[in-house]
Amino acid sequence: MKKKFAFGAALLAGFAGIGVSFSLAETPRTLADYQADPAAMIEAYAHVEVASISDAVEQTLHQKRYMSHRMQAIFPTKFAGFAVTVKMEKHEGGTSADSTGMLAAIDTAKPGSVYVMTVEDGADIAGMGGLMGTAMFARGFKGAVIDGGVRDLSQLKRIGFPVYALGPVPSTSVGHYRFAGSNIAIVCDGVTVNPGDVIAADQDGVVVVPRARAAEILVAAEKLDNTEHSTLPFIEKFRSIQEAVAQFGRI
């Protein structure tokens, strides 16, 4: 056993000598770490399951801040980013100039943003399509969430730009809607979204995390995630969900 250990130590030392480094698992980041580093916080949100984030929001804020089953992804996806909000309201007989503001919101947003739009009674109106999605993709957006329809799915899938919406429709908003504001508080599929809130999405749906509590909720969500991921092999080994819940306290 000592010989094997000595050989292993020598092997690691040899790798180190040629510039190959080894490290133990990273120490979990703290609340203060995430508060000081928003980019690291968003990166971490992108690796936590949305179900865990939703549970952490409910346990911490005593609120339900997830969007309904109506909000569907155009393909399986997972992303997280800070919200850029846009509101469109009904207005018949207008021109494309009435939509200028929703385009400006794309061109002025920072990379890593999530475009969150509400289209008044817009389930059968495409709030965005291939042109807007391509612009968001080019500018480094993480995704879009549209309380309305979406079109040009073939282009959006071709470039791999993720969109959640109420469904695919071929219609246009031009001539029927006008821009009513950006980076303002909006209600998207029943959930209040403020500019800068964290939007996290995966195959379970979309959740909105208030920016002021985002670091705190992330730490709680990571703990829930770790507990669930520890519970799964226990269930597989002992074949009892009751024993697993008693052991880990997570369901």
Nearest partner of 102 among 112, 88, 81, 120, judged by Cα: 88
| Count of the separate structural domains present in the chain | 1
Q: What pLDDT score was predicted for residue 155?
A: 98
**What CATH code is carried by the domain that includes residue 139?**
3.50.30.40
Q: Does residue 89 form part of some domain?
A: yes
Q: What pLDDT score was predicted for residue 96?
A: 85
Q: Does residue 110 form part of some domain?
A: yes
- pLDDT tens-digit map of 121-161: 999 999 999 999 999 999 999 999 999 999 999 999 999 99
Q: Does residue 38 form part of some domain?
A: no
pLDDT at residue 8 is higher than 80: no
- pLDDT tens-digit map of 94-130: 888 988 999 999 999 999 999 999 999 999 999 999 9
Q: Does residue 32 form part of some domain?
A: no
Query: Crossing angle for the helix pair 241-248 and 214-238, nearest 10 degrees?
Result: 140
Q: Does residue 30 form part of some domain?
A: no
DSSP codes, 198-227: EEEEETTEEEEE-GGGHHHHHHHHHHHHHH
Q: Which domain holds residue 171?
A: 66-209
- pLDDT tens-digit map of 36-75: 899 999 999 999 999 999 999 999 999 999 999 999 999 9
Q: Does residue 70 form part of some domain?
A: yes
Q: Does residue 182 form part of some domain?
A: yes
165 — alpha (psi -120 to 50), left (phi > 0) or beta?
beta
Q: Which helix (H) or strand (E) holds 102?
A: helix 100-107
| DSSP assigned state of 173 | -
Q: Does residue 248 form part of some domain?
A: no
